[in-house]
Every structure is written in C-alpha cells, then in structure tokens.
C-alpha cells in the first residue's frame, strides 16, 4: 500500500477542482437531451461554522469544476471534506457521495451547496443523488507487513507514541481506521494542564506539581491510581518542552479551562488540537522511510504467540492486512463515547445516555478496549463516564462555546438565574444542569472576552461569525440580551450584579465560587446556549507506569502497551478539564518509548 502523506494546508478563498477523465457509467442513466444548462452557478449550504458558498461549472452533460468561494469551517478538521467531496462529485458525476467522517456538517454543507447550484442549472437532483463513484473492493489477497512497533490509532496518543518510538530507534506503522488522523485531539479545545513556573509566575499564579497531583487525585474522588497520577503531573511540563522541541508553540498566558479547577491550562497557538497533530505529522513525514501511516485501516484483532502480543490483523482499502510487530503494539484508539450500546452497558451513574449527543469524533467506539479484553487485559473504571454541560444543542459538540476562561463567565437557566458554581468539577456542573428546565443553560459574558467581533473562541470561531449564524446572541445592555435569548431581564440583571459583587469582594459567592477575574460590566454582552453532552470515558485498559498493559492478576501482557483515552485508572470518577491532553501526550510518549525498547 502506498504511503499516505498528511496534507496540512490553510484553505484559500478559492479552491478549484477540475474534471480529469470521463463520466462514470452510472451518470448515463440520468442523461436525456442534456443533464444541465451550460454555465457557472452559485450555491450555498450550511456548515458547522456558517454558510459555505461555492460555484459549480457545468457543460451540457458534465460537472467540470467546483470552486469554493467562502466558508468559516475549522482548518484541520474540515480540510478533508473540502479536499474530497468536490473531487468525488466530479469523479462520480453525481451527488451520491458519503460525508467525510469527523467533518459531517462541513460535508453536508458542501453537498447542499453543490445541489443548490446544480438545481439552478436545471439538473434532476434526486437522480443525481443516486449516482456515486465505484469503489475498489481490493484484491482479496492478504497483505503482510513487518515493523518494530505497531500503533493502533492515529489520534494524539497514537501519534505521540509513534514519534517517541521512532526517537528510540524503532520503525513504526500507524493504523488509523478513519480517513484522517487526529481523533478527538484535533477537534478538542486543546487545553493542556501543567504546572509551569516560568509562565505562571509571570501571571502571579502560585502552583506546583504537588498541587496538580492533589487536585487530580481528589478531583477524581481518590479513585485514580496515585502512581499513574504522579507520572502524569511530573511529566506534563517536560512533555510540553518535548513538543516545543519539535516546533509546537504555546501561548504565554495560561488559563483555567472548564472543570480544570486551577489556571494551569496551556493554549496552543494553532487552533483547536491541530498544533499537536501537525507537529507529530511533520515529524512523521520527515522520517517517512521508517514511519508509515495507513488510513482507512481498521485493526480487528491482536495476534498472539503464547502469551505475547506480536502483531495486528486489520482491514484496509486493499483487503486484509497483517502487520508483524518485532517489539510491541501500542493501543491508542481513544474513548467509547460514540458507542451508544457500550456506554449504556457500563453506565451506572447517570440517567440513560441513549439520547445524549457527544463531543467525540465518529471513530470513538471502543475498538481498542474490545481487542485488549480479548487477550486478557484488565479493564478498570468502565462505569466512570464524564458528561459536560457544554454541548452544542444541535450537535453535542464543543464548537460554538463562547467561553474563553472559567473566571469570567456565568451560567443562567431559562429563567435567567444562576444555579451552580461555574468553577466546580464537571460532574457537579452537569448534575446541576440536569435539574434545570430542559437541561438547558446560557453562558453569559461581556466584551472583555471579545474586544472586537473578529476575536475568536477556543474553537477558532469569531464571535461575529457565531452571532451571524445564530449560535450566539449579542446585546448592548443586559436587558437587550435577555430579550434576545428570552429570559427574564430582571433575573439576568440581578444575577450579573450579584456576581459582580462577589468579584469585588473576592468571594466565595452564594454558590461557593472562588474563581474570578473581572466583573461582567462592559457592553456588548454575549450569550451562548449549551446542554449536557457525553465527553470522556475515564475507564479503559489498565496500565502501569511504563504504559504496559496489565491482566486481571496485575501481570504485564508482554508486547502490549496502551496510552491516552483508551486507558483507565488515571482520572478516577472525574477528569479535570485540561488533563486529557496532558494524559494523551505524556503516556503516548511513554508507551512509544517502552514499546521501542522491548527487544
């Protein structure tokens, strides 16, 4: 199989895809005197970031060009949709094209925009939706490969493990079932917790590795394994330095992320989690003679010789694949938040989760947990499922969240009243949200978060874009904002005034809140709607400090390692906000090194 290169690019205003080759046989079924009225036609569709505008050029019977004019989709996340969807439409000469996994709303927006343009061209849209490109079914032969370390999963933990393994002398193959790398990391808010004396002292923040340990341990109800938590907090900052040594950049100012309990979150310069993924993929591309990333390749089974893991069976675009691992296999397949049956099977804490949406990408279905369990791995804390109070009401995703930092916003319910300490643990806030009407709240903040309309949230969306898309609301006074969002204006004004008094007095306030930065007193004011969403599954494969996988008796399973959200035993009953990216990178790095050194 040909080496798949990672393409990182910023989408320009104009992207042109030209037809190469002839029409598919399927397109002839909808031909009459002519499929289209020749010309160039404009179309619009709704993506997750707002309106996608494009032009489609057609001859009498061919789609020849799709030109993307304007969009506000997230770079790194939506890139593959803009690369693949127009090209596939042209190849198929039809609209029967599947959405790109992980960029569903962007894909649907592109398809809707093309359909609108083709409708103006006189096309039979229903007929075109039945036309799709032929897909290869492979040769039917089993392909065999051999390397030193096999990594299952191309998200943050998997790529960290791959890079670390290579730096420790190993050749590496990464198996990723999705059509792109990135996993949950690339769509995350990217906050990374680490005690950082240099940056924190400049802000007057007192912190320490021990404080990070204590908050993580107690914040998880003391259910996390202390030895693993100690590895996490002691290696968090050195791992940031490791990332920086490969070119990744972080902002100097630290902040408190939702449920993080303390201002130790590092924000990458690149939007969302693209900085982590780009850093690792740049390294992999520079060392492509020893490293290979196989996309659309789903690992299905661990290969054993006696009690040792020696390889992986997988299904790829060209058929069955067997990859022999001379040193070890690293499982880094992430959480099971997008596996409704699995989360309902293990849930013992929350009301039924069947109808809740999730922040997770489509590939977060627990595959690695199932494979590890099949070879005797022990699973821990599987019932510990984290919900967030910060889901988009339509998608469940984190995008559209207007908050910038915990200290400078409040939550109000549909009556305009506060109901919880907004600096509390994530489970505390979510339980309180479930008690509100329709489990619905508004995030309220002022313009000090957004000095201009072009200022962006933690998900690379400007406040003006969010307001224009109806995903955020703006008012020059609190009363005007209350009218915009349909809450009692007297209640909202009273809630803000009481909060401002607590800021002035230094707290704690009536809800026990102690985290404050400034008063909410500078117009314009903004509001964004949020609901509960499934976010993180703290349970998973049990590991030790070397990221070696353990069986039910506490013994190491030779040749098998795991890292990131697929593991359990670190976060206990509640994961602190900002600890996931630290976990992913710290234990990914450790797993790669351990696997590489296992001769």
Helices (H), 121-202: 125-128, 156-167, 197-202
Q: How far apart are CA 251 and CA 157, in angstroms?
A: 22
Q: Compute the distance between CA of residue 40 and CA of residue 32 in angstroms, rounded to an integer.
A: 20
How far is Cα 165 from Cα 591, in angstroms, rounded to an integer?
8
Q: Judge residue 32's burial from the number of C-beta atoms within 10 Å of its C-beta, 0-12 exposed, 13-18 middle, 19 or more buried.
A: exposed
Tell the residue number behind the tokens 């690792």, with chain if given. Answer: 280
C-alpha distances (whole Å) from 57 to each of 16, 68, 70, 120, 436 are: 10, 11, 16, 11, 51
Look up residue 289 and give its DSSP letter: T
* Matching residue, tokens 């670390």: 164
Backbone angles phi, psi at 528, to 5 degrees: -140, 140
DSSP 204-249: T----HHHHHHHHHHHTTT-S-HHHHHHHHHHHHHHHHHHHHTT--
DSSP β-ladder status, 473-475 and 548-550: unpaired
CA-closest candidate to residue 212, choices 236, 176, 183, 242: 236
CA 169/CA 547 separation, integer angstroms: 18
What is the distance of C-alpha 77 from the center of its chain? 9
Q: Active site residue: 426, 471, 530, 575, which one?
A: 426
Identify whether 426 is a catalytic site residue: yes
Catalytic residue positions?
Answer: 426
């Amino acid at each position: 199989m040909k080496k798949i290169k990672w393409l990182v690019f910023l989408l320009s205003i104009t992207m042109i895809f030209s037809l190469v080759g002839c029409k598919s046989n399927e397109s002839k079924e909808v031909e009459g005197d002519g499929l289209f009225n020749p010309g160039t036609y404009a179309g619009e569709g709704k993506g997750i970031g707002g309106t996608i505008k494009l032009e489609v050029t057609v001859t009498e019977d061919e789609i020849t060009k799709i030109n993307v004019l304007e969009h506000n989709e997230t770079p790194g996340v939506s890139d593959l949709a803009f690369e693949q969807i127009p090209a596939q439409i042209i190849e198929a000469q039809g609209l029967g094209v599947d959405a790109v996994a992980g960029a569903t709303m962007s894909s649907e927006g592109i398809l809707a925009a093309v359909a609108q343009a083709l409708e103006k061209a006189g096309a039979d849209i229903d007929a075109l939706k039945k036309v799709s490109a032929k897909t290869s079914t492979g040769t039917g032969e089993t392909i065999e490969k051999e390397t030193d370390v096999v990594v299952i999963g191309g998200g943050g933990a998997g790529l960290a493990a791959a890079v670390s393994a290579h730096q420790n002398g190993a050749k590496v193959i990464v198996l990723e079932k999705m059509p792109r790398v990135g996993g949950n990391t690339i769509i995350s808010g990217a906050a990374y917790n680490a005690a950082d004396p240099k940056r924190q002292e400049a802000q007057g923040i007192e912190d320490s590795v021990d404080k990070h340990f204590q908050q993580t341990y107690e914040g998880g109800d003391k259910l996390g394994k202390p030895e693993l938590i100690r590895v996490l907090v002691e290696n968090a900052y050195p791992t940031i330095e490791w990332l920086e040594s490969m070119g990744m950049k972080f902002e100097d100012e630290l902040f408190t992320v939702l449920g993080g309990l303390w201002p130790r979150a590092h924000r990458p310069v690149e939007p969302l989690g693209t900085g982590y993924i780009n850093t690792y993929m740049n390294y992999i591309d520079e060392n492509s003679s020893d490293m290979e990333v196989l996309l659309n390749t789903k690992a299905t089974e661990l290969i054993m010789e006696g009690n040792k893991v020696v390889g992986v069976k997988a299904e790829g675009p060209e058929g069955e694949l067997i990859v022999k691992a001379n040193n070890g296999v690293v499982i880094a397949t992430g959480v099971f938040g997008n596996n409704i049956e699995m989360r309902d099977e293990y849930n013992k804490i929350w009301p039924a989760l069947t109808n809740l949406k999730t922040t997770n990408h489509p590939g977060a279905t627990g595959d690695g947990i199932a494979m590890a369990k099949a070879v005797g791995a022990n699973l821990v804390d599987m019932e510990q499922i984290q919900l967030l109070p910060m889901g988009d009401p339509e998608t469940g995703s984190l995008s559209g969240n207007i908050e910038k930092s915990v200290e400078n916003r409040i939550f109000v319910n549909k009556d305009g009243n506060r109901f919880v300490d907004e600096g509390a643990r994530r489970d505390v806030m979510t339980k309180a949200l479930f008690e509100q009407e329709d489990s619905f709240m508004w995030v309220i903040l002022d313009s000090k978060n957004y000095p201009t309309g072009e200022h962006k949230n933690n998900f690379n969306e400007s406040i003006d874009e969010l307001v224009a898309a109806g995903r955020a609301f703006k008012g020059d006074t609190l009363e005007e904002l209350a009218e915009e969002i349909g809450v009692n204006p007297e209640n909202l004004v009273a809630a803000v005034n009481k909060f401002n008094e607590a800021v002035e007095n230094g707290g704690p306030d009536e809800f026990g809140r102690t985290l404050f930065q400034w008063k909410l007193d500078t117009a314009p004011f903004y509001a964004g709607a949020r609901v509960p969403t499934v976010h993180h599954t703290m349970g998973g494969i049990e590991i030790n400090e070397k990221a070696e996988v353990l069986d039910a008796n506490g013994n190491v399973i030779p040749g098998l390692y795991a890292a990131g959200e697929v593991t359990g035993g670190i976060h206990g009953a509640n994961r602190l906000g900002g600890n996931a990216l630290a976990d992913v990178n710290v234990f990914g790095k450790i797993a790669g090194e351990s696997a590489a050194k296992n001769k």
